[in-house]
Amino acid sequence: MKTPNILKHLAIIMDGNGTWAKARGLKRNKGHEEGAERVRDITTYCSTHPTIETLTLYAFSTENWKRPKMEVEFLMKLLDRYLNKEIPVYMANDVRMQAIGDISRFSAKLRKTIAKVEEVTKDNKSLTQVLALNYGSRDEIVRAVNRVIDEGGIVTEESLGAALDTPYTDIDMLVRTSSQQRLSNYLLWQLSYSEFFFTDTLWPDFRPDELEEIIARFEKRERRFGGI
Q: Catalytic site residues? A: 15, 64
Q: Which residues contact 189 (CB under 8 A, 6 or more apart)?
A: 137, 140, 141, 160, 161, 164
Contact between 61 and 185 (Cβ < 8 Å):
yes
Q: Report the number of secondary-structure helices (H) and strands (E) in the chain.
A: 7, 6
Neighbouring-strand partners of residue 61: 135
List the beta bridge partners of residue 100.
132
**Integer Cα distance of 187 and 7 in angstroms:** 17
- Rounded distance, CA 90 to CA 117, Å? 9
